[in-house]
Amino acid sequence: MSGAAPRAIQAEDGRLAGHPAEDGQAEDERVESGRAERGRAWRLPELVDAGAYIVDDHGLIVEVNAQAERLVGRRAADLLGRDAHELLHRDSRGESIPGIRCMVKQAFLSGRTLRSELAWFERGDGSLTPAAWTVAPCELAPGRRGALVLFHQVDPAVLPGPWAADAEGPLSELDRLALLAETTTTLTSTLDVEEILRQLVRLVVPLLADWAVVDLLTEEGGVSRQLVVHHENGVLVHHEDLEGGMPPVPEASSMPLSRALRGVTAALAGPETYRGRPDSALAVVQQELFRATGMHSASIAPIRGVRETLGALTLGRSGRHDAFTQGELLLAEDIARRAGLALDNARLYERQRRVAETMQRHLLPRLPVVPGVRMSARYVPAPGASQVGGDWYDAFPLPSGATALVIGDVVGHDLDAAAGMAQICNMLRAYAGDQDEPPHAIVDRLDQAVTRMVQPVMATMVLARMEPAPSGHWTLRWSNAGHPPPLLVERDGRARYLEEGHGLLLGTGMRASRPDAAVELPPGSTLLFYTDGLIESPSRILDEGLGKLAACAAALAERPLDSFCDLLLSGVRPDDNDDDVAMLVLRLPG
């Protein structure tokens, strides 16, 4: 085949053509899998012994022939739409291959047809199929590129020379660029320090080294050996006995690790580097590292953030006989620099989370003591948020002797929503304590004040007042400003939503009369106020969430209050929830 990227044979509608698409008709009887062709834009020809599949520019399989299904032991339905590299491509040990070694990606980058005499495809049952394959870039449609992959089974034992085993060899310039691009993309996709380090090790071991060691400077000025990982028998093994606290960084030491932790340029090292008289306690630790790991060659590079040095990355070789070259040292230094930027972002995010957690602790109130009534509350921040948001609960005594109960949700997330929430909470307490008014009047005054805020917000809220009734029971009177209705669960498990007293949410600027509603609370009943993060999710409609909450709360009616709250959260809160959750729960005396 020519070295230039072949142009696909085009059908009249501009799509890749092999056999004509059947436009929703039954599958051709020759295709043994019996897969449906409805909605498929093209079809590959059936070949005698060669499997064939097509991937789009994202590496996703968009077509496959029957022989490919047989060779990899997978149905078309299990292949279409999947990432071919992640699903199929393996080394001779059955391990995933780094993205930079993917021949399909290399064909895309170079725009050339590439061939390999030996590759390994993972079958549906987990076994490996040795194959020779050819990858040719092609055009799927005008302006849309893809690649055609042809492969057939081979016997590795009869292949000459280096094809009988996986050849690691030095990285090409194209491999280096691809590795750096993959490093940037992978490490900046998360703000979790542990995940960044895990992905960093996965990227460089065993591609560049047998060992990876990460030392990080702590915020207190110390040094911690976070990771010592070795590639053993095809898996990454953590050596926890070599991890832990480290001696401080000596200011005058000329040893490679000391220099790297001070932010000086990367350096090559070996056992001989630390063989002489150690100049510091840190050098003693390094002597032990080289002795315990058997590394004969290592690169030690600083991990630098935007403003400061964060640590050092050591890559070492013990099983591989080749030593690090100067070019590989520069590559390791570049990888460490990109890791530093990702870790710097993660650390800044962690600091923001701690500030937000402190703010949240001050914003959420202590619950009052109400004789005979047990009270509990929960707040769970949105996943990935800064541990603070616009959901809140509140409970406080009123001058009349009644108890105010509040649940609310400011539209939005994070610090802006929390700032709006704090203002609303303070105004609400002031209005509620100023005059002995029914809930709807207080909510109406609060609504007018919200529209006059410097940064207007919108919020939903339930304000209720609970007080003893002449009958000896408790009466609840409330007004609801666009919030999900409270749930009342009786001692025998009967549950109902308090849907009365509903009005507009706060901050709309529209004046409308707000109703009140009242109910006598049965002895031993449980009253639940909550925000919509407990019941809403992209994967289900609101009625389903409300139904699940009522059923779960009814089943837990006799549980102790704290257990009731925890089990309700774990049993009802959706897994794909992307919102805060606040809950205020009361248990009435029996």
Domain span at residue 260 reads 175-352
Is 489 contained in some domain? yes
Query: Which one is predicted more confidently, 578 or 516?
Result: 516
Least confident stretch, 99-103, 124-128, 452-456, 512-516: 99-103
Q: Describe the strand order of the beta sheet including 128-141 as a list of residue ranges.
A: 61-64, 51-56, 144-153, 128-141, 114-122, 89-90
Instruction: Tell which of 164, 187, 214 closes a domain.
Output: 164
Please tell me whether residues 443 and 525 are part of one structural domain. yes
C-alpha separations of 190 from 98, 180, 302 in Å: 19, 17, 21
Q: How confident is the model at residue 10 (pLDDT cuts 50, 70, 90)?
A: very low
Only one residue has tokens 């650390």, namely 347
Please tell me whether residues 369 and 284 are part of one structural domain. no
Whether the CB-CB separation of 38 and 18 falls below 8 Å is answered with: no
For residue 111, how many C-alpha atoms fall within 13 Å in the half-sphere facing its CB?
Answer: 2
Backbone φ and ψ for 589, nearest 5 degrees, come out as -65, 150
Looking at the structure of the chain, the number of domains it has is 3
* pLDDT higher than 50, residue 55: yes
Average pLDDT over residues 132-142: 87
Nearest partner of 528 among 464, 463, 585, 581, judged by Cα: 585
* pLDDT higher than 60, residue 103: yes
Is 169 contained in some domain? no
Backbone φ and ψ for 229, nearest 5 degrees, come out as -125, 135
pLDDT of 27 reads 39
* pLDDT higher than 90, residue 112: no
Where residue 48 sits, what CATH number does that domain have? 3.30.450.20
Identity of the residue numbered 391: D
415 Cβ contact list (under 8 Å, min separation 6)? 356, 359, 386, 388
Residue 487 parent element (H or E): strand 487-489
Alpha-carbon gap, residue 402 to 463, rounded angstroms: 13
pLDDT of 486 reads 98
Where residue 583 sits, what CATH number does that domain have? 3.60.40.10
pLDDT of 181 reads 84
* pLDDT higher than 50, residue 360: yes
Alpha-carbon gap, residue 405 to 396, rounded angstroms: 7
* pLDDT higher than 80, residue 255: yes
Nearest partner of 286 among 254, 263, 308, judged by Cα: 254
Average pLDDT over residues 384-396: 76
Only one residue has tokens 């170079």, namely 110
Is 357 contained in some domain? no
Please tell me whether residues 406 and 494 are part of one structural domain. yes
Alpha-carbon gap, residue 573 to 545, rounded angstroms: 9
Please tell me whether residues 201 and 339 are part of one structural domain. yes
* pLDDT higher than 90, residue 160: no
pLDDT of 118 reads 85
Is 170 contained in some domain? no
Where residue 305 sits, what CATH number does that domain have? 3.30.450.40
Please tell me whether residues 446 and 578 are part of one structural domain. yes
Whether the CB-CB separation of 230 and 289 falls below 8 Å is answered with: no
Q: How confident is the model at residue 3 (pLDDT cuts 50, 70, 90)?
A: very low
Please tell me whether residues 160 and 179 are part of one structural domain. no
Dihedral sign for Cα 65, 70, 71, 73, please.
positive
Please tell me whether residues 140 and 188 are part of one structural domain. no
Backbone φ and ψ for 363, nearest 5 degrees, come out as -80, -40
Please tell me whether residues 53 and 151 are part of one structural domain. yes
161 Cβ contact list (under 8 Å, min separation 6)? none
pLDDT of 387 reads 53
pLDDT of 303 reads 96
Nearest partner of 349 among 385, 378, 379, 315, judged by Cα: 385
Query: Which one is predicted more confidently, 165 or 468?
Result: 468
pLDDT tens readout for residues 565-577: 999 999 998 877 7
Least confident stretch, 228-232, 360-364, 575-579: 360-364
Cα 519 to chain centroid, rounded: 44
Please tell me whether residues 142 and 210 are part of one structural domain. no
* pLDDT higher than 50, residue 20: no
Only one residue has tokens 């207007």, namely 456
Please tell me whether residues 213 and 333 are part of one structural domain. yes
Is 15 contained in some domain? yes
310 Cβ contact list (under 8 Å, min separation 6)? 216, 217, 303, 304, 340, 343, 344, 347
Backbone φ and ψ for 562, nearest 5 degrees, come out as -65, -40
Token readout for 519 is 């109910």
First to last CA, the chain: 85
Please tell me whether residues 157 and 12 are part of one structural domain. yes
Please tell me whether residues 77 and 48 are part of one structural domain. yes
Is 458 contained in some domain? yes
Instruction: Tell which of 329, 352, 375 closes a domain.
Output: 352
* pLDDT higher than 60, residue 152: yes
Assessment of whether the complete model's pTM goes beyond 0.85: no
* pLDDT higher than 90, residue 49: no
User: Strand pairing partners for 123?
Assistant: none
pLDDT of 307 reads 87
Rounded to the nearest 10°, the torsion over CA 556, 558, 563, 567 is: 0
Is 377 contained in some domain? yes
Q: Supply the mean pLDDT for the chain.
A: 85
522 preceded by cis ω (within 30°)?
A: no
**Residue ranges with strand state E in 239-381:** 244-246, 267-269, 297-304, 309-317, 374-380
Whether the CB-CB separation of 328 and 313 falls below 8 Å is answered with: no
Residue 54, Cβ density class (10 Å: 0-12 exposed, 13-18 middle, ≥19 buried): buried
Instruction: Tell which of 297, 320, 352 closes a domain.
Output: 352
User: Strand pairing partners for 502?
Assistant: 480
Q: Parallel, antiparallel, or unpaired: how do β-strands 144-153 and 297-304 relate?
A: unpaired
Q: Parallel, antiparallel, or unpaired: how do β-strands 211-217 and 235-238 relate?
A: unpaired
Alpha-carbon gap, residue 360 to 347, rounded angstroms: 20
pLDDT tens readout for residues 450-507: 988 878 889 999 999 999 988 788 999 999 999 999 999 999 999 999 999 999 999 9
Alpha-carbon gap, residue 139 to 6, rounded angstroms: 8
- % of the chain with per-residue pLDDT over 90: 55
Is 358 contained in some domain? no
pLDDT tens readout for residues 522-554: 999 999 999 999 998 887 888 999 999 999 999
Alpha-carbon gap, residue 202 to 276, rounded angstroms: 33
pLDDT of 26 reads 38
Alpha-carbon gap, residue 204 to 192, rounded angstroms: 19
Average pLDDT over residues 499-516: 91
pLDDT of 275 reads 86
Nearest partner of 208 among 119, 339, 332, 333, judged by Cα: 332
